[in-house]
Amino acid sequence: MVTVDELFALDSLLGDTERQIRETVRRFGEQRLRPHVADWFERGTFPVRDLAPELGKLGLLGMHLEGYGCAGTTATEYGLACLELEAVDSGVRSMVSVQGSLAMTAIHKYGSEEQKQRWLPEMAAGRAIGCFGLTEPDYGSNPGGMRTRARRDGDDWILDGSKMWITNGSVADVAVVWARTEDRIRGFLVPAGTPGFTAREMHHKLSLRASITAELDLDGVRLPADAVLPEARGLAGPLACLSEARFGIVFGALGAAGDCLSAAIDYAGTRQVFDKPLAAYQLTQAKLADMAVELGKGTLLALHLGRLKDRGELRPEQVSAGKLNSTREAIAIARECRTILGANGITLDYPVLRHANNLESVLTYEGTAEVHQLVLGEALTGAKAFR
């Protein structure tokens, strides 16, 4: 028996440090997260405050950023960490992704030196939690239509509006909030506890249940002039942060798919059907073979995109290609694995339907599959089809 990694000789494409990071994160997932994740999912909770310092100690928060206590790893190393985190649960990878690729990246890329010194070391250590307030109730795929407004009042800014589906929102110490001003979209740092700023945890989710999701309300929130991210002007700012997070999804979704496939192979090898293992039937082997090929191809693409990013050559449409492929194939693999497990596949005794439910969100957040198809369509034809 061989694994997908062995089938595609994936280890031969990794350096020593990349393998070490992958194994460190995998070991942390096995020892610290897997024993509890089914219970977190069932209860609809995630212990962000407890786990963030541990993730920070491992160097996983903002790990691809330089300075300010960040690990300064390569993009590929970050991608491999995302893969291992999402092999446990998409909610775990989402927490790390929002902290590092969205909130910390926004401050690191667009913030003042004072803002960076104030927040980044604390966030890298997991002592401070951040969230990223871009999506609104009626403006997901079209963030440029946001209604949240920021107006000047003397030297201060006054913010009014709301944000929806904000990971870490109700436990965050600081929210990166994007708002429309008189001339362009700007980013603001809103500390928790600021008068007029409230965050309400969202419940009744059937996906990403082991994750904290919130709605943010801003009602006359007064911020000083130095709350603005000075280098972010226009929608390009938040979109660049989203591209960073999407890159992590390219790897992460494959981690969920790989965990499903491993569970299905193990189950098929022990489940007796008509006096022989389920794995010995041609239909089962055909399913497993097809899934292994798609998982292997997806991982090869992810590694290629990682190498491009490390060379500074990765283009946004290439990230879209990776995100579209990884999420679409991952959810198909999860669903197919569920058929192999039969009725057992719907229980939390196995990870498959939990991953499938999570991937329903991963498929659509940070750019739906349809949006990424249109990004690729525009790149291929030169014609915009968003309107």
- Crossing angle (nearest 10°) for helices 236-270 and 316-341: 30
Query: φ, ψ for residue 198 (rounded to 5)?
Result: -130, 150
366 is catalytic: yes
Catalytic residue among 42, 366, 370, 378: 366
- What does the H/E/C string look like for the chain? CCCHHHHCCHHHHCCHHHHHHHHHHHHHHHHHHHHHHHHHHHHCCCCHHHHHHHHHHCCCCCCCCCCCCCCCCCHHHHHHHHHHHHHHCHHHHHHHHHHHHHHHHHHHHHCCHHHHHHHHHHHHCCCCCEEEECCECCECCCHHHCCCEEEEECCEEEEEEEEEEEECHHHCCEEEEEEECCCCEEEEEEECCCCCEEEEECCCCCCCCCCCEEEEEEEEEEECHHHECCCCCCCHHHHHHHHHHHHHHHHHHHHHHHHHHHHHHHHHHHCEECCEEHHHCHHHHHHHHHHHHHHHHHHHHHHHHHHHHHCCCCCHHHHHHHHHHHHHHHHHHHHHHHHHHHHHHHCCCCCHHHHHHHHHHHHHCCCCHHHHHHHHHHHHHCCCCCC
Contact between 195 and 221 (Cβ < 8 Å): yes
User: How far does CA 222 lie from the centroid of its chain?
Assistant: 30
Which two three-digit tokens encode residue 360? Answer: 């329903």
CB atoms inside a 10 Å sphere around CB 140: 18
* CA max distance for the chain: 80
Task: Provide the annotated active-site residues.
Answer: 366
